[in-house]
Amino acid sequence: MIHLTPMDLVIASSMIILLAITSLLLQLNITKQLIIAAIRNVIQLLLIGYILKIIFNSHNVFLLIAIAGIMLVVAGFEINARQKYPLKRWIGFKVGTSALFISSFTMALLTLMVIVAPTPWYSPQYAIPLLGMLLGNTMNGISLGMDKLNQSVYQQRLVIEQRLMLGQTYQEAIQEIRAESIRTGMIPIINSMAIAGLVSLPGLMTGQILSGTPPVEAVKYQILIFFLIAAGTGFGIMLAVWMISKQMFDERQRLNLDILQIKAR
C-alpha cells in the first residue's frame, strides 16, 4: 500500500481553498459552510482514526457499544439539521434516531451474526465500518424523505384539509405525499446501485482494492453493502414517514403542523 505524506494532503486541501475562494468571488454563500465542513472533516477523521486504533486492539464490546451509541446520537441530530421545515428539535431527534436504530442496527446485526459472521461477531474491524456505512447512507435517505414530507404537507396543507373535509382519512389524504417522500429518499441509493461498475467504483470496493484485496472479493463485499444500505434506507424512510405523518394529525384526524418549526417569512 502506498502511504500518503502530509504534503499529499496539503496539495489536496489546496483544492478546497481554491473552491472556497471561487465560491466567495461568485457570491454563492457557501464559503463559510465549506471551510467549516473541511475543518470538521479533518479533525473528526483524525480523531476517529486514533480511537479506532485503540478499539481494534482492545476488542472491548462495551467500548464498541459506546462508539455505536455516539454515532447513532450524532446521526439522529443531523437528520433534522438542514431541512427547510424541520421538526421541532426533540421530535425530530426522536423520529430520526428511532428510524435509524431499527433499520441500520438490524441490518448490521444480521450481517455480523449471520452473513459475514466474524469471530467474535462484534469484531470492531467489521462492526464499526459496517455500521458507519449503514448509518451514513440511511441518515441521508431518511433526511431527504423527511424533508420532502414536511415541505409537501406544509405547502399542500389546504389541499389536505379539503380532502379531510370530503371524508377521506388522513392516510388517504397524504398517501401520494408519503409515497413521493419515500421515493425521494430512495433515489440516491438506487442511483448508486444502477451506476456502480459503469460510472463509478464505490468507496468500499475502491478502498479494498487499494489495500490489496482481490477485485472479485472486493466486489462481493460491495454488493453486500449496497443491498444492506438499500434495505436499511428503505425501511428507515418508511418508518420515519409513518411516525411523522401520524403525529401531523390529532385523534380526530385534523391536520396539526405544530410539530414543525415554521420560520417567519
Q: How far apart are CA 221 and CA 205, in angstroms?
A: 7
Single-letter residue type at 94: K
pTM as predicted = 0.82
Q: Where are the domains of the chain?
A: 1-58, 61-247
Check: CB of residue 261 under 8 Å from CB of residue 91.
Answer: no
Residue 145 pLDDT: 94
Q: Which residues are CB-neighbours of 218 under 8 A, at least 6 positions away?
A: 204, 205, 208, 209
Check: CB of residue 71 under 8 Å from CB of residue 113.
Answer: no
pLDDT band at 1 (very low <50, low <70, confident <90, very high): low
pLDDT band at 265 (very low <50, low <70, confident <90, very high): very low
Query: What are the pLDDT digits (tens) for 188-236?
Result: 999 989 988 877 777 778 787 877 788 888 889 889 999 999 999 999 9
pLDDT band at 58 (very low <50, low <70, confident <90, very high): confident
Altogether, the residues listed in the chain come to a count of 265
